[in-house]
Structure 1
Amino acid sequence: MTTILLYLLIGVGLAVLSGVAKGSMRRLVIGGGLGILVAFVAFPFSRSSGFLSRETVDPTLLALVPTFPLLLLIPLLIVATLYLALRGGGLVAWAGVIGGGGIALVGLAWYAQPTQVVRLAPVNGLMEGLAAIVLAAAVALLAQRSPRLRLPIYAVAALAGVLTFLWLGSSGGHTYLPRMAGYYKLLMPTGSETERKLVEDYNAAIPQKNAILKEIGQPTLEPITSLTDLKGSIPQEASEAGYRLLQPARTQYGALALFVLAGLMLGAGLMGLRRPNLQEAGDLRAGMIFAGVVSILLPAFEATEFQLQRLVKGWPFLVGFFHKAWPPNLANPDANVFPLQSVLSEMALTIEIALVGTFLAAIFAVPSSFLAARNLTQGSALMRGVFAFMRGFYNVDRGVDTLILALIFVAAVGLGPFAGVLAMAIHSIADLGKLYSEAIENVDKGPIEALESTGAAGVNVLRWAILPQVLPLFVSYTLYRFEINFRVSVVLGLVGAGGIGYFIKGAMDAGNYDQMIIGVIAIVIVVNLIDFASSWLRSRLV
């Protein structure tokens, strides 16, 4: 409960700080309400445990409504809050106070509930329908660029959505995406009789289980009077039958969203009572953007297991690491070890990998970029097809990371810089080609039209009207790509593609931190030198 109140105070504090800075309070009320609405449907709030850890289900507030119907007040309060906030004036402050305060009270009431037994009720077809809607919407967006084909595109979008839903709901879809079937689960109440029967069944099976435990020398089980005596788990038989032990007090990141945003609404309402003029015309749009950012970032932080306390626990290792890494061991003649010499050699190789990879990419990217420029490929259906093919190739090539390509080529041609050069060149073709083609599309049409009016051939137009305009940009983009490729080549060395990264990995694996730090220092120095040099060259060319 202390953590929940802290979340609430954080939200209030953020609203107060925004009010002091004369930010719009209505924006916070709208954004907080929309964010809570997303959290109500999509963010886990509590924990329900099965017999095994993989059987744990973290339900959303919507999934908990059958167990605690009072939670339905949250979307109702949000709708009322948004209605009042959009009307503006003095109603905004009261909307924030009533909406934020009411949502916080409902949330506190939920987390005060005792542990109880619930039954899972999968909602079949929900995730399949959502995936179909998203696909159909993505296809329908293409109609915005082709008004004349709007109706056919809408028809294709609807057909794609229907076919996707039917396939995902079939046995074929469940074969490839088994977790989608019944992914969203409601938690249904069971009553005291169900729990009593589960306890009786558990106690009845104890003698047989204890006989097995004694044979293998494990502690025996004791009879229980309530499922809460199992400390968070549930009997295997009950878990297999779809029952779970719901623990409202075990909060998930949805609690953070609910109470921080409720506190934000409450704080914005309180500030609005003092300063009712803190409103702006674009509050609805800003609030929607705010809610969208929160809805994306919170699950991302949770998925990446972002926990600062783990960094605190690992702090002694970092201290020990830097203690072992400093001072650098430049040479140890007695052991015939010369790290500085190795670093200089590997750094030169790293630069050469980046240089060759960038050069090869530029050779292929220059001619292909003319075929990927929209203004040069619209004369015929054939050229438009070539344009679509080249742009598609660029998108596919850019989608495959250099590190993945390096792993493939290391397996194909073996360890060494050749694999790194191939991976870097192939990936850089798409990046440079896209930049080159966009530069070609933005050239001044005057020189082109002047040459065409004299009857000049296409090659002459390309040589005298387009190349002089884009060549400085080509050089600038190539230099910039070389900077990126140098940094990438350091990482490629970690997977066996040679260079300074390979030296660093070897030193780390051997525990020679005082040698590894030399490589790190060398990278920092060379990166800065390349950056300053390429910046100077670009300033002279463009």
Structure 2
Amino acid sequence: MTLFVIAGILGAVIAVLSGLAGGSMRRLGLAGALTSLLVAGTLPLTPGVGLRATDTVSPTVLGLLPVAPWLLLSLLALVASVWTARRGGRVAALGSVIAGAVLLLSLIVWTRQPSQLAHVQPLPGVMEVVAGLLLLALVQVFTWTGPQRRTGLLVGFALGVALTGYLLSPDGRTKFPSTPGYYRVMRPVPADETTRLISGYNADLANLNAIRKSIDLPPLPPIKAVSELGAQGLPQAIADQGYRLLQPARPAYGEPVLFLTAALLLVSGLLHLRRPQLQQASDWLTGSVIAVLVTLLVPSFAATNFNLSQLVRGAPFLRDFLSRSWPPNLAQVNPQNPSANIYPLQEVMSQMALTVEIALVGTFIATLFALPLSFLAARNLTARHVLMRASYVVVRTFFNVDRGIDTLILALVFVAAVGLGPFAGVLAMAIHSVADLGKLYSEAIENAERGPIEALESVGATGTNVLRWGILPQVLPLFTSYTLYRFEINFRVSIVLGFVGAGGIGFFIQGAMASGHYDQMIIGVIAIIVIVNLIDFLSSELRRRLV
């Protein structure tokens, strides 16, 4: 319950601060209502527990409607809130207040429900329609206009339905085994059926305890109520029949979000009632964007196990790490045994120089290849001839494919091919940088002013002269700036490449950490900070003088 209170307070604080700043209250109301509707259909409200963690299902608000039909009132109130937002003023404010209050009350009622059994019922067709609607939306945003758009919309919807239907088919299960019945609803279990399941479990308990005793496990007590079902995980005999135990007091990550949006709706609506002028013409667009971003970010935080309390628990390790890293061990001299002398500072400077050289050589090679390729990837230079248009497609496709392969992946491939050392890092960096620089160069060429080019073409200048006198003087300053910026990026990338065996300061840091010599590792970290700032200042000064 503490989590729900914190989420509600946070939503109220957001609304109050936005109101004090004169922000649009209708925008907040729309964002809260649209986010709640999206969360209700996509994010889990309460987990349905089975025998094992892999058996757990995560029903949404829509999936829980058969079990908790009063949740439908909150959905209707949210839809009404979105509808009244079109009117603006106090009508929109009143809609937000009612929606927030109904949603908050529905959630509180749900969280106070006792544990109960529910039967998992897959809902076919939902994912196919959703996928079709997503492709339809993409076509709506990015495709052509006029009558062709209607055809594109229908084709996009049909493709989405057909592709998702294949993935849910028996053939598709061999590639995506978890997709069948992905969207599920929870069907309520009558009291007599629950009693029958518990009685059947208790009847078989003697045999189960005999098996547990043979493997030195403690016996299980008989179950008297539904609340006791989840103590050891839902019994296998019950879970295998498709039943799950709903525990409303244990929220999934969608529930705090709904408490936050409910408080946001309620408080923003009250503030909007007081000051009806707090609305803007762009409320619909910004509210929709906020709703989509929140719906995408919340599961992302949940999937990455984002938990600041774990960082707090790890504070002793961080303190130990820092204490072992400081002071830096610049040199360790043994007068009695000179052969045992260690000079970490000298090694760091040597590896740092190698890191800079890897970045320098990789950027230079990439520039040599990116410069001519960029002219073939510029639309304004390749539009007049069919062969040139073909070269444009080929080179642009190469740039896109190359940019999609991370430098670290390329480094792993080249380390396996040519062995450990800086050569693998140079190859990986050069190949990846060709695409980045080529794209930047080609876009600079496409944005060059047409005036000088047309003037040279009007007096009969050849293509090479047009490039030399009409295009290059415009784009060379940008080329220089892009190249220097890419060198800065490549220097940082070359540090990471050292961790996979491509040489340089990253390789030194990895070795020092693996051997527990944190007082040597910290020298490399300090050197990186110094050199990164030095390169940044020098490249900025060069860009200022050359561009």
Q: Deviations over 1:34-86 (max 9, x none)?
A: 01000110111111100111101121111000001001011100122122222
Task: Note the C-alpha offset of 1:139.
Answer: 5.1
CA distance in structure 2 between the aligned counterparts of 1:322 and 1:105, rounded to whole angstroms: 49
Query: Does 2:490 correspond to 1:491?
Result: no
Aligned partners of 1:195 and 1:226 also within 8 Å: no
**1:114 is paired with a residue of what secondary structure?**
coil
Q: Which moved more, 1:70-79 or 1:131-140?
A: 131-140
Q: Which moved more, 1:436-445 or 1:91-100?
A: 91-100
- 2:464 is matched with 459
Cα distance change on mapping 1:103 and 1:150 into 2, 3 Å = closer
Q: Deviations over 1:78-116 (max 9, x none)?
A: 122122222122223322221111110011111111100
Query: Does 2:385 correspond to 1:380?
Result: yes
CA distance in structure 2 between the aligned counterparts of 1:502 and 1:194, rounded to whole angstroms: 64
Aligned partners of 2:118 and 2:243 also within 8 Å: yes
CA distance in structure 2 between the aligned counterparts of 1:118 and 1:325, rounded to whole angstroms: 55
CA distance in structure 2 between the aligned counterparts of 1:234 and 1:506, rounded to whole angstroms: 48
CA distance in structure 2 between the aligned counterparts of 1:259 and 1:159, rounded to whole angstroms: 37
- 2:337 is matched with none
Task: Note the C-alpha offset of 1:158.
Answer: 5.2
Calculate the TM-score normalised by the size of structure 2: 0.95
- 2:399 is matched with 394
Pairing of 1:429-444 with structure 2 (within 5 A): 429-444=434-449
Aligned partners of 2:132 and 2:157 also within 8 Å: no
Q: Which runs of 5+ in 1 are unaligned?
A: none
Cα distance change on mapping 1:214 and 1:168 into 2, 3 Å = closer
- 1:271 is matched with 271
CA distance in structure 2 between the aligned counterparts of 1:225 and 1:308, rounded to whole angstroms: 39
Task: Note the C-alpha offset of 1:206.
Answer: 1.8
- Picking from 475, 500, 506, the partner of 2:505 is 500
CA distance in structure 2 between the aligned counterparts of 1:148 and 1:365, rounded to whole angstroms: 41
Q: Which moved more, 1:96-105 or 1:204-213?
A: 204-213
- 1:69 is matched with 69
Cα distance change on mapping 1:133 and 1:195 into 2, 3 Å = same
Query: Does 2:354 correspond to 1:364?
Result: no
Calculate the TM-score normalised by the size of structure 1: 0.96
Pairing of 1:419-430 with structure 2 (within 5 A): 419-430=424-435
CA distance in structure 1 between the aligned counterparts of 2:150 and 2:222, rounded to whole angstroms: 68
- 2:47 is matched with 47
- 2:188 is matched with 189
CA distance in structure 2 between the aligned counterparts of 1:413 and 1:132, rounded to whole angstroms: 47
CA distance in structure 1 between the aligned counterparts of 2:494 and 2:541, rounded to whole angstroms: 23
Task: Note the C-alpha offset of 1:274.
Answer: 2.6
CA distance in structure 2 between the aligned counterparts of 1:150 and 1:192, rounded to whole angstroms: 53
Aligned partners of 2:3 and 2:256 also within 8 Å: no
Task: Note the C-alpha offset of 1:538.
Answer: 0.7
Cα distance change on mapping 1:393 and 1:155 into 2, 3 Å = farther
- 2:227 is matched with 228
Q: Which moved more, 1:451-460 or 1:135-144?
A: 135-144
Task: Note the C-alpha offset of 1:148.
Answer: 8.9
CA distance in structure 2 between the aligned counterparts of 1:141 and 1:510, rounded to whole angstroms: 54
- 1:174 is matched with 173
Task: Note the C-alpha offset of 1:453.
Answer: 1.5
Task: Note the C-alpha offset of 1:383.
Answer: 1.5
Query: Does 2:105 correspond to 1:105?
Result: yes
Pairing of 1:151-166 with structure 2 (within 5 A): 153=152, 156-157=155-156, 160-161=159-160, 163-166=162-165
**2:70 is paired with a residue of what secondary structure?**
helix
Aligned partners of 1:118 and 1:190 also within 8 Å: yes
Task: Note the C-alpha offset of 1:323.
Answer: 0.6
- 1:241 is matched with 241
**Superposed structure 1 runs of 4+ greater than 4 Å apart:** 139-142, 146-156
Q: Which moved more, 1:524-533 or 1:335-344?
A: 335-344
Cα distance change on mapping 1:88 and 1:130 into 2, 3 Å = closer
Aligned partners of 1:127 and 1:180 also within 8 Å: no
Task: Note the C-alpha offset of 1:534.
Answer: 0.5
**1:475 is paired with a residue of what secondary structure?**
helix
Pairing of 1:399-410 with structure 2 (within 5 A): 399-410=404-415
CA distance in structure 2 between the aligned counterparts of 1:201 and 1:446, rounded to whole angstroms: 87
- 1:119 is matched with 119
Cα distance change on mapping 1:379 and 1:151 into 2, 3 Å = farther
CA distance in structure 1 between the aligned counterparts of 2:142 and 2:347, rounded to whole angstroms: 54
**2:276 is paired with a residue of what secondary structure?**
coil
Task: Note the C-alpha offset of 1:137.
Answer: 4.4
Aligned partners of 1:140 and 1:157 also within 8 Å: no
Task: Note the C-alpha offset of 1:305.
Answer: 1.0
Cα distance change on mapping 1:142 and 1:22 into 2, 3 Å = closer
Aligned partners of 2:499 and 2:506 also within 8 Å: yes
Task: Note the C-alpha offset of 1:231.
Answer: 3.4
- 2:18 is matched with 18
Residue type of the alignment partner of 2:206:
P
Aligned partners of 2:197 and 2:238 also within 8 Å: yes
**2:86 is paired with a residue of what secondary structure?**
helix
Q: Which moved more, 1:256-265 or 1:447-456?
A: 447-456
Task: Note the C-alpha offset of 1:297.
Answer: 1.5
Task: Note the C-alpha offset of 1:150.
Answer: 4.9
CA distance in structure 2 between the aligned counterparts of 1:155 and 1:302, rounded to whole angstroms: 35
Query: Does 2:347 correspond to 1:348?
Result: no
- 1:475 is matched with 480
Q: Deviations over 1:450-501 (max 9, x none)?
A: 2212212111211221112211211111110000000000011111111100
Cα distance change on mapping 1:133 and 1:14 into 2, 3 Å = closer
**1:176 is paired with a residue of what secondary structure?**
coil
CA distance in structure 2 between the aligned counterparts of 1:157 and 1:23, rounded to whole angstroms: 38
Aligned partners of 2:374 and 2:438 also within 8 Å: yes
Cα distance change on mapping 1:288 and 1:409 into 2, 3 Å = same
Q: Deviations over 1:204-236 (max 9, x none)?
A: 222222222222222112212124224342110
CA distance in structure 2 between the aligned counterparts of 1:142 and 1:85, rounded to whole angstroms: 27
- 1:322 is matched with 322
Task: Note the C-alpha offset of 1:141.
Answer: 4.8
**2:178 is paired with a residue of what secondary structure?**
helix
Aligned partners of 1:350 and 1:490 also within 8 Å: yes
Aligned partners of 1:127 and 1:181 also within 8 Å: no
Residue type of the alignment partner of 2:72:
L
Task: Note the C-alpha offset of 1:356.
Answer: 0.8
Q: Which runs of 5+ in 2 are unaligned?
A: 335-339
- 2:259 is matched with 259
CA distance in structure 2 between the aligned counterparts of 1:255 and 1:153, rounded to whole angstroms: 37
Task: Note the C-alpha offset of 1:428.
Answer: 0.5
Cα distance change on mapping 1:539 and 1:494 into 2, 3 Å = same
Aligned partners of 2:128 and 2:160 also within 8 Å: no
Task: Note the C-alpha offset of 1:254.
Answer: 0.9
How many residues are paired up?
Answer: 541
Pairing of 1:302-321 with structure 2 (within 5 A): 302-321=302-321
CA distance in structure 1 between the aligned counterparts of 2:154 and 2:202, rounded to whole angstroms: 60
Aligned sequence identity (%)? 54
Aligned partners of 1:142 and 1:153 also within 8 Å: no
CA distance in structure 1 between the aligned counterparts of 2:499 and 2:203, rounded to whole angstroms: 58
**2:204 is paired with a residue of what secondary structure?**
helix
Task: Note the C-alpha offset of 1:272.
Answer: 2.1
Aligned partners of 1:479 and 1:534 also within 8 Å: yes
Task: Note the C-alpha offset of 1:277.
Answer: 2.1
- 2:130 is matched with 130
